Amino acid sequence: MGEEVKKSRPAPDPNSAKFKLGKIAADAYTDAIAAKERGELVGWCASNFPVEIPETLGLYVCYPENQAAGIAARGGGVRLCNEAESEGYSNDICAYARISLAYLKVKDAPEQNMPQPDFVLCCNNICNCMIKWYENIAIERNIPMYLIDIPYNPDYEVSDAEVEYVREQFWDVIHSLEEYTGKKWSDEKFKEVMEYSGKASRMWIEATSQAKYIPSPFNGFDLLNHMAVMVTARGKKEAGEAMEQLLKEYKENHENGTSTFRGEEKYRIMFEGIACWPWLRVTSTGLKSRGINMVTTIYADAFGFIYDDFDGMCRAYANVPNSMNLEQSRDKRIKLCKDNHVEGLLVHTNRSCKLWSGFMPEMSRQIGEACGIPVVSFDGDQADARNFSEAQYDTRVQGLMELMEANKAGKEDK
Amino acid sequence: MAVKELFAQLHEIAENPRAQLDKYLAQGKKVVAVAPIYTPEEIIHSMGIVPMGVWGADLELNEAKKYFPAFISAIVQSILECGIRGDYKGVSALVVPSLCDNLMVLGQNWKYAVPDIPYVPMSYPQNRKPAYGKKFCKASYERVINDLTIATGCKYSHPALRESIKIYNEHNAVMREFAELASEAKISAVERHDVFKSAWFMLKEEHTAIVKQINEELKNGPKADETARVYVSGVLADAPQLLKVFDDNGVKIVFDDVAAESRQYRTDCPEDFQDPIDGMAQKWANMDNCSFLYDRDKKRVGMIVEQAKAHKAQGVIVLMTKFSDTEEFDFVPIKRACEKEGIQILNIEVDRQMVNYEQASTMIQAFKEMI
Amino acid sequence: MYTLGIDIGSTTSKAVILNENKEIVAQSIVVATVGTNGVSKAIENVMTESGLTMDDMACSTATGYGRQTYDGATYQVSELSCHAIGVHHVFPDARTVIDIGGQDAKVLSINDSGKMSNFIMNDKCAAGTGRFLDVMANILQLDISELEVEAAKAEDAVSISSTCTVFAESEVISQLANGIPIPELVKGICESVAIRVASQARRGGIREEVVMSGGVARNAGVRNAMEKELGVTIRYSELSQLMGALGAALYGLNKINA
């Protein structure tokens, strides 16, 4: 290739949501690295562990799921998966866990480094696999493990017995952490964190709900990136501010008739499942090139932790998407589809996630019927690039598009 | 009765759960299916219901594929397949515990795939030992009682539960004794398995009576003469062809950490609680040494090494149920511990659609040649 | 005194006759799947070549996937042990053996006294086995023996990331459609097998010398990729495909001498 003239990108606007959110996500890592260097204890924390606890106690934590996604998105997933498999881990195990357990051993991944853990904070409200993964970290490093066990809720509502069980564990973990780290719980600080988390959550939900407009003021793939902040920093003041900015921008986009989705929005779909991080560009291009905008995902709802008091917080953490029964999961998605005028459902059958994918065929059938939209699934993986076929994806997406097209034509005929 | 006849009797039952189900139904009893790994069987039994274990079957998956993606454990997939096929017709409910991701999705799919058999969830706490864990456990048991009362019309009472706890504790003791005796006695892998498997399809008092006789026979019977002694771990060691590979190669299973076998009988329910449901919650709190039970210290790993040594096993064979990630995570620490102790370890992947045991056979034969 | 070793593999049958000095008197490889008359053909070949008959054999030992259905042998031993024995005979310093066969990939550890001390076999999927290479060669309309030649022509390898055989198939087809030259694809396929087996090999622990045996060992493309992946020199012999049969004949000889 000859002299390629690089397009000079404009310097990012430091007041933009994208810049702010990117900085918060990056700071989470650099802050933890700096803390470790100062000799402070650093924990590894599950994504849906109540962030209010470490935040109120002033503990530094890193998020292995977030790290694994980052490593996978930057092409290091297979290398680390191979490393874990050489240790004897089956390649059927969740790829986030394999990457993380491999990282524990190799201690270096240029794609995304983070400090080694002094303790782990585990919560199984997203899957039971979390317990096994964190047990192995804890035993490998010989460090304390704090588990908040939130059993899968088979009912539509969270029972009082479960709320009580969760609440007691919260306090138990708080007291154990106070003892281990020497940091103190303060109700005042908790109230503050609760407000920050509440604000970030409200702003996030409102920002994502701007997809109700046609065309949507944003490309849904944006959410997959911005979500990192909701995972790692929702209890921080800056998170709420950045989300507020995001909402403002989306509203402006709508008013100005612009969008972060480039090109004409011909079709609107909901994407189901964790992103296929190693194939993010391929999965995104496959949609964009056909004028398909992914306007919503359950993530739009997943990280909205809105509550008024401690018990409310317990209830909220017992009611995250992966701990809900099929009926509630279905109804939440039907609402997202209807609110956002979704015309098709694209399901990622994610080999790494048994819980999320295990009843997806039945649930997506029910969603498809309730909303009168076509449902198409493809095989993939959140972090192991080997479990995806570009050709299969492309054919399936095209099939979905043709079904949506036929639906539109049918409606016009009437 | 001669020991061979007793084994034959249990073999018949182990191979024909449907006949057992029909027998109990003909007696006018209610039957409730219990899914892996643990369920409060004592409670179900105390309500006058026969609990029968369902661990799937070796069969081709057709209907279940409509509900599950390929990477869900074959045990869970085949339970659903059997349910859809009508193999459990006559059963009043299916109790499914919340102990792994495979089981959680089984419950959700069951509601739609087998609507005529109600799904009864049992939510166990993983923080089992603190008072709040026991309290939640009790609430979950009460929910099971409530659901079963609706499904069967059978009633619960404290005195009946006290009685059933005694029956189960006695059965546990008899099964533990059997496992120890089988370690030294002349008994095939298939026969050993039949004793464990038949327990899932019988009222425990009936099973206890037969196993007691077997134990007496084993005490006085011939001693094992196999040269290769192995300890087996895994969720299931169920396939007859696979067990035959052990027998054909003269490899003796001296003890096990199999979820469907010895893991069931390790912990008794305390009998001295005012409210026997509290006793049941205490039993849950006392349970350990299992991949499905949260354990920061992985006590199970040390237990496997100790039990293997205590029973003079020369090697550990893990029969890894493919896609049981709970077990797959534990394999690495088990492997390391065995290697550290100089115990040979072999991992054989199994599922419920194996038509060909060639590779397993080669591995077991080579393992014997090596140890 | 002579002993016969027979290795009944999934795609080939091999036979070796040894004399009491552990020298190979005759050898044969017959391409035929299990269950066909490949075994008899291989035995017939070695008898003809040596001018001996079955009656001259002190004993015979069968190994390989078809060993259990073949009832003409005195002994029956797993191919894992036989490969270890065969390789140890040819390479006394070998401590790790990587054998990629038609249906499975095995990694064997040999201790200082020449005994197999550990082994790891592939899991249920076909990636990283000879079968994977067969499927890929088929798509490219190449003979399996041509893979080596093609791989040698390539400077760079195109990465084949899928390990699922079905996915890899579609990946290779779309790369073909993208106009990627066949040698680069072949090199990528060889690397994919090597990466997969290397991670299995690390599970068992790598001690030098490392020797490759089995039919796939002849494929320099896979061998080189494996060296690169493991960072060790990999030795191999022209006898690589016969290691199982050789080990079986040696097993019989040891039995008689014992």
* Domain C1-91+239-258 = CATH 3.30.420.40: yes
pLDDT at C170: 81
Find the mean pLDDT for residues B314-339: 96
- Flag whether pLDDT at A9 surpasses 70: no
Q: Which of A359, A367, A378 is the mutation pick for testing B, counting most B CBs within 10 A?
A: A359
Q: Which residues of B touch C244 (CB under 8 A)?
A: none
Burial degree of C51 (CB within 10 A; 0-12, 13-18, 19+): exposed
Q: List the single best residue of B331, B362, B363, B364 to mutate versus C (max C Cβ within 10 A).
A: B362
Q: What is the pLDDT of residue C126?
A: 65
Q: What is the mean pLDDT of chain C?
A: 88
What pLDDT is recorded for position A414?
A: 59
pLDDT in tens, B108-139: 999 999 999 999 999 999 999 999 999 999 99
B73 and B61 Cβ atoms separated by less than 8 Å: no
Residues from B contacting C (CB-CB < 8 Å) are 322, 344, 349, 351, 358-359, 361-363, 365-366, 369-370
What is the reported pLDDT for A113? 96
Q: How many CB pairs under 8 A join A and B?
A: 145
Give pLDDT, residue B354.
76
Query: What does the pLDDT average to over B204-222?
Result: 97
Is the confidence at residue A3, as pLDDT, over 50?
A: no
Of A78, A85, A392, which is closest to C161 when you measure between CB atoms? Answer: A78
**Domain segments of chain B as ranges:** 23-156
**What is the bridge-based pairing of β-strands A119-123 and A60-62?**
unpaired
Task: With CA atoms as reference, report the closest residue to B317 among B249, B265, B266, B264.
Answer: B249
User: What sections of B16-128 are H helices per DSSP?
Assistant: 17-26, 41-46, 74-85, 101-113
Element (H, E) at C108: strand C105-110
B369 and C79: CB-CB below 8 Å? Answer: no
Mean pLDDT calculated for residue range B100-105: 97
Query: Does the pLDDT at position B355 exceed 80?
Result: no
A27-183 CATH fold: Rossmann fold (3.40.50)
Q: How confident is the model at residue C5 (pLDDT cuts 50, 70, 90)?
A: very high
The rounded distance, in Å, linking the Cα atoms of B328 and B320 is: 7
d(CA B88, CA B117): 9
Q: Could B69 and A147 be called an inter-chain contact, meaning their C-beta atoms sit closer than 8 Å?
A: no
Q: In the prediction, which pLDDT does A7 show? A: 52
Q: Could you report the per-residue pLDDT of C55-68, keeping only the tens digit for each?
A: 999 999 999 888 88
What pLDDT score does B324 carry? 97
Between the two ends of chain A, the Cα-to-Cα distance in Å is 53
pLDDT over threshold 50, residue C151 = yes
Residue A2 has pLDDT above 50, yes or no: no
What is the arithmetic mean of pLDDT over B266-284?
A: 98
Q: What is the pLDDT of residues A117-133, one digit of tens each?
A: 999 999 999 999 999 99
Q: A388–C170: do the CB atoms touch at under 8 Å?
A: no
- Pairwise CB contact (< 8 Å): C164 & A387: yes
> pLDDT: is A84 or C176 the higher one?
A84
The beta-carbon neighbor of C161 closest among A90, A91, A385 is: A385
Query: What is the rounded average pLDDT for all residues in chain A?
Result: 93
In chain C, which residues have their Cβ closer than 8 Å to the Cβ of A90?
123
Q: Test A391 with C174 for CB contact under 8 angstroms.
A: yes
Q: Per-residue pLDDT for C89 more than 70?
A: yes
| pLDDT number for residue A231 | 80
Put simply, whether A142 touches B (Cβ < 8 Å) is no
Helix A95-106 to helix A64-73 angle (10° resolution) is 90
Question: Which residue ranges make up each domain of chain A?
Answer: 27-183
First to last CA, chain C: 14
Model confidence pLDDT, tens digit, residues A117-176: 999 999 999 999 999 999 999 999 999 999 999 999 999 999 999 999 999 999 999 999
Considering only CA atoms, give the Rg of chain A.
21
Cis peptide leading into residue A215 (ω within 30°):
yes
State pLDDT tens for residues B24-35: 999 999 999 999
Neighbouring subunits of A (3+ Cβ pairs under 8 A): B, C
pLDDT band at C168 (very low <50, low <70, confident <90, very high): confident
Compare CB distances from C171 to A85, A90, A389 and report the shortest one's residue.
A389
What is the architecture of the domain spanning B23-156? 3-Layer(aba) Sandwich (3.40)
**Closest residue of B to A325, CA-based?**
B108
Inter-chain touch A89–B105, beta carbons under 8 Å: no
The reply to whether residue C163 touches residue A90, judged by beta carbons under 8 angstroms, is no
Provide, as residue numbers in chain A, all residues whose Cβ is less than 8 Å from the Cβ of B323. Answer: 92, 354
Question: What superfamily in CATH does domain C93-236 come from?
Answer: ATPase, nucleotide binding domain (3.30.420.40)
For chain B, list the contacting chains (3+ Cβ pairs, <8 Å). A, C
Q: Which of B104, B139, B323 sits opposite A355 (nearest CB)?
A: B104
pLDDT over 60 (residue A4):
no
- Which region among A12-21, A150-159, B265-274, C138-147 has the lowest average model confidence (pLDDT)? C138-147
Q: Which residues of C touch B370 (CB under 8 A)?
A: 81, 115-119
Domain boundaries, chain C: 1-91+239-258, 93-236
Asked if C1-91+239-258 and C93-236 have one fold, the answer is: yes
Q: What percent of chain B has pLDDT over 90?
A: 92
